[in-house]
Amino acid sequence: MAKPKTMAEKIWEQHVVRDLGDGWDLLHIDRHLLHDLTGAAALKALAQRGLTVRNPELCFATPDHAVSTLPGRTATTSAVGAGLHQGLRDATSAAGIRLFDFDAGQGIVHVMAPELGLILPGFTIACGDSHTCTNGGMGALTFGIGTSECVHVLATQTLRQRRPKMMRITLDGTLARGVTPKDVILHLIGRLGSAGGKGHIVEFAGPVVRAMEVDGRLTLCNLAAEMGARAALIAPDDRLFAYLEGRSFTPHGAAFDAAVAQWRRLASDEDARFDVDLTIDVGDVRPTISWGTNPEQVVAIDQPIPDPRHESDAARRAAMEEALAYMGLEGGVRIAGTPIQWVFIGSCANSRLSDLREAAAIVRGKHAAAHVTAWVVPGSEAVRRAAEAEGLDRVFTDAGFQWREPGCSLCVAANGDRVPRGARCVSTSNRNFVGRQGPGARTHLASPAVAAAAAIAGAIVDVGRT
Ligand SMILES: CC(C)[C@H](C(=O)O)[C@@H](O)C(=O)O
Ligand code: SF4
């Protein structure tokens, strides 16, 4: 009998072009996604080496990191981004690569690609970006790679990879009311640590994942990068097939049915062996928020910030003290009640339609606190249009929030926009590193619901109690 395999092993084996020895394989890449930073740089480097793109029809590009998100923007509104955007336009047009430009499907690459049906179960996906793992929520095997590896993929449509270790995290229980996929993944990162998934491809499984909408699965896989995982993925199921049917790049008619039959066989075999196999009951997870400068420094919203004086490990204690000093917080004090000045609802972690609905449900009929600047940045033009069609933009603008154009925006502050020094921002993004949202800016990672509630209250509040 054939050896039982994990889902990642099945996809991996279907894509091996050559065994390179020493645990390395050369893999075929089904889709290569390019953005305005690494994508444009890789195309430039390729041209400089006199090489051409092997399969332009398998490459798809969009400008997201450095574009302006100001309403009414053009390609030159962002002074930092203008050159990068033009570079991506020129290079993709010269290479014959399809560019989803402004007013033509633009968005954060990890938001627009799944919604267009560009990511299908069983595909291998490469992108010069660490959050490529988001796409594992679609049942794809992903590779977040560096610019030089992007050049390799452009030239050969293959990628050299070392065979990974496999980890499964089975999420058991039933989520409490008001607890979102973002809370679950922040909780998991807090519990397992920011190196908890290191060297592994993480498969999320179990009843909580099965009950989760596709958008939520994308959020879960997105933050696997913050657990150090090489990739994350979720077995495709009827919920995903229903999501995929009819999307622009999804197969249609009989081809779709045939694809579904193939996709059903991707799930890990019953007896498949994982190097690490965890089962975690998430029934008691509460809305969760980060307090520090690393995504593992999180706390349930009704709990006090951990006190470094109670930490016995000296290195950890020092890291906690340093984080608290940067964040302007004190250990042992309840996090709820901390005044905030900024809110950012956006990023590839949480800028899909369901995220905007989650935030709008809290904001509707209320107004942001006078001292708070609150931005809503939809993940893609398609999300923006869908949200506007159901009036969500008005819900936000009536409440004093800014309704912006799609892009990475304040998640990484690479387009010139930034949270001011010393300002405290509740952000639905995925990284809270020192200076991530601007020099001296203080970031608290949270769900759209927690961020929206904080904007209204002008302080971090327990959404369970608003
Ligand atoms: C700029 C890009 C290469 C980077 C990444 O790799 O993730 C960015 O998207 C981020 O989130 O920090
Ligand atoms: S939204 Fe943030 S995390 Fe996602 S790709 Fe852009 S910069 Fe990276």
Which residue ranges have their beta carbon within 6 Å of ligand 1?
Answer: 37-38, 65, 129-131, 412
Reading phi first (left if > 0) and then psi (alpha if -120 to 50, else beta), residue 40 is in alpha
pLDDT at 305: 98
pLDDT < 70 stretches in the chain? 1, 465-466
And the tokens for 341? 């000045």
And the tokens for 284? 């008691």
Out of 110, 131, 445, give the residue to mutate to test ligand 1, the one with the largest number of ligand atoms within 8 Å of its CB: 131
By alpha-carbon position, which residue is closest to atom 8 of ligand 2? 131
pLDDT at 465: 52
What is this structure's pTM? 0.98
Q: Which CATH code is given to the segment(s) 7-161+238-264?
A: 3.30.499.10
* Binding site membership of 222 for ligand 2 (Cβ less than 6 Å): no
Q: Which CATH number fits domain 288-465: 3.30.499.10, 1.10.10.10, 3.30.1490.20, 3.30.479.30?
A: 3.30.499.10
pLDDT at 463: 87
CB 2, CB 270: distance < 8 Å = no
Out of 37, 67, 84, 110, give the residue to mutate to test ligand 2, the one with the largest number of ligand atoms within 8 Å of its CB: 110
Cα–Cα distance for residue pair 458/392, rounded to 1 Å: 21
Out of 130, 133, 347, give the residue to mutate to test ligand 1, the one with the largest number of ligand atoms within 8 Å of its CB: 130
pLDDT at 2: 84
The amino acid at 168: R
Intrachain domains 7-161+238-264 and 288-465 with the same fold: yes
Q: State pLDDT tens for residues 97-111.
A: 999 999 999 999 999
What string of H, E and C letters represents the secondary structure of the chain? CCCCCCHHHHHHHHCEEEEEECCEEEEECCEEEEECCHHHHHHHHHHHCCCCCCCHHHEEEECCCCCCCCCCCCCCCCHHHHHHHHHHHHHHHHHCCEECCCCCCCECHHHHHHHHCCCCCCCEEEECCHHHHHHHHHCCEEEECCHHHHHHHHHHCEEEEECCEEEEEEEECCCCCCCCHHHHHHHHHHHHCCCCCECEEEEEECHHHHCCCHHHHHHHHHHHHHHCECEEECCCCHHHHHHHCCCCCCCCCHHHHHHHHHHHHHCCCCCCCCCEEEEEECCCCCCEEECCCCCCCEEECCCECCCHHHCCCHHHHHHHHHHHHHHCCCCCCECCCCECCEEEECCCCCCCHHHHHHHHHHHCCCCCCCCCEEEECCCEHHHHHHHHHCCHHHHHHHCCCEECCCCCHHHCCCCCCCCCCCCEEEECCCCCCCCCCCCCCEEEECCHHHHHHHHHHCECCCHHHC
Closest atom of ligand 2 relative to the 129 alpha carbon: 5
Q: Report the 10 Å Cβ neighbour count for 416.
A: 13
Please give the ipTM for the structure prediction.
0.98
Taking the CA of 433 as reference, the closest ligand is 1
Domain ranges of the chain: 7-161+238-264, 165-228+269-281, 288-465
CATH superfamily of 165-228+269-281: Aconitase, Domain 2 (3.40.1060.10)
pLDDT at 466: 46
Q: State pLDDT tens for residues 123-159.
A: 999 999 999 999 999 999 999 999 999 999 999 999 9
130, 221, 297, 308 from 315: Cα distances, Å: 27, 29, 14, 11
And the tokens for 77? 């509104």
